[in-house]
Structure 1
Amino acid sequence: MDIPELGLDRLARVSVELDEILTVGPIHGGVRRVVPITGGRIDGDRLSGEILPGGADWQLVHDDGSTTIDTRYTARTHDGALVYLATSGVRHGPEDVLRRLFGGEPVDPREYYFRIGVRLETGDERYSWLNRTVFVASAARFADAVVYDLYALR
């Protein structure tokens, strides 16, 4: 029996604009931070539109500097469909790189690891394929944004 090999199809570039980090404080497993999402864009041939304000990343920063990502937010496509996005993943790297990143300095995304799984959901039939596709992304953190390339697994 041959099992299909995995492949990736790039769907879009997603730019998520962020507000100031709210530090909830130390909890079991690390420091809880909430990073409000204020807007952004999705730019791709099959999926494009705007990120709506109101979501957030409820991240957990661990003692080793790694961060567990947990976001939920909404987008409106260029033709009016609403899409729910939820990401989960991890960001980690060498201590000096993470210190620069946490300090808001520009850091080459090849210097650290930032990967996420992305779940997309919609009730709009034109985009129903989003509900039954698995998505992953490679991401970069900037002082006021996260940018990621969104890929569909085939």
Structure 2
Amino acid sequence: MASDSRVKVVGEIKTAHLFDMIVDLNPRLSFGSGPFGRRTLFGAAGGSFEGPKLRGEVLPGGGDWALFRPDGAMALDVRLTLRTHDAALVHMTYGGRWITPPDVRSDMADPVKRYQVDPAHYYFRTTPLFETGAEQYAWLNDIVCVGSGYLVEDGIAYKISQVV
């Protein structure tokens, strides 16, 4: 890039572990193929999250209204409700991408093998944001996070980090 006096030197982006989360899933619901791809709902049946500053449960009723694009990529559109150990409610939303290379797609489609595929062989990244009225967790309203997902039996797991 050519030298531009408007470009500032800033620190590298750093992250800090926020929590690990497992989302148990209901059976998927397919909306079929539409104008943008094949829409599928992966409904949340429950789950849990735990980290150094907060822990609790994932409440049933949210989910991922995923869009399988014609190129094989999946665009994520997730909304979840978290309840902390001290009963605060937190609204969590995130988009993201799940890119599965052609050489592992058959294993990912296999109900047994999919959990054995090393997450390093696919790209599953998210961008969580939070909203809450609970004073003790108001700091969540002002942070940006990144997450890395992987499959677990009957669900999805994530490592969520705060961008600091």
Is the pair's TM-score, using the shorter chain for normalization, greater than 0.5?
yes
How far did 1:95 drift?
Answer: 1.6
| Partner residue in 2 for 1:64 | 71
Instruction: Indicate whether 1:85 and 2:95 are aligned.
Output: no
Which runs of 5 or more structure 2 residues have no equivalent in the other structure? 1-7
Instruction: Indicate whether 1:33 and 2:40 are aligned.
Output: yes
Tell me, in whole angstroms, the C-alpha distance in 2 between the residues paired with 1:46 and 1:102.
Answer: 36
| Partner residue in 1 for 2:24 | 17
Tell me, in whole angstroms, the C-alpha distance in 2 between the residues paired with 1:25 and 1:45.
Answer: 41
Instruction: Indicate whether 1:112 and 2:122 are aligned.
Output: yes
How far did 1:47 drift?
Answer: 1.4
| Partner residue in 2 for 1:136 | 146
Runs of 4+ aligned structure 1 residues displaced above 6 Å come to: none
Tell me, in whole angstroms, the C-alpha distance in 2 between the residues paired with 1:22 and 1:102.
Answer: 16
What SS does the corresponding residue of 1:127 show, helix, strand or coil?
A: helix
Asked whether the equivalents of residues 118 and 134 of structure 1 are also in contact (C-alpha less than 8 Å), the reply is: yes
Corresponding pairs, count: 154
Tell me, in whole angstroms, the C-alpha distance in 1 between the residues paired with 2:33 and 2:110.
Answer: 19
Cα deviation, 1:125-153, whole Å, max 9, x if unaligned, reads 10000000001101102352110101000
CA gap of 1:51–1:151, structure 2 versus 1, over 3 A, is: same
Q: Which residue of 106, 109, 134 maps to 1:102?
A: 109
How far did 1:67 drift?
Answer: 0.4
Which runs of 5 or more structure 1 residues have no equivalent in the other structure? none
Q: Whose strand fraction is larger, Structure 1's or Structure 2's?
A: 1
Greater radius of gyration (CA): 2
Cα deviation, 1:12-59, whole Å, max 9, x if unaligned, reads 101111111111100112100011100000111101000000001100
Q: TM-score, normalised by structure 2?
A: 0.89
What SS does the corresponding residue of 2:128 show, helix, strand or coil?
A: strand
How far did 1:99 drift?
Answer: 2.9
Asked whether the equivalents of residues 83 and 120 of structure 1 are also in contact (C-alpha less than 8 Å), the reply is: yes
Asked whether the equivalents of residues 101 and 141 of structure 1 are also in contact (C-alpha less than 8 Å), the reply is: no
Moved more, 97-106 or 25-34: 97-106
Measured on the aligned residues, the alpha-carbon RMSD in Å equals 1.3
* Identical-residue share of aligned pairs (%): 37
What SS does the corresponding residue of 2:138 show, helix, strand or coil?
A: helix
Cα deviation, 1:89-144, whole Å, max 9, x if unaligned, reads 00012123133223332221111000000011110010000000001101102352
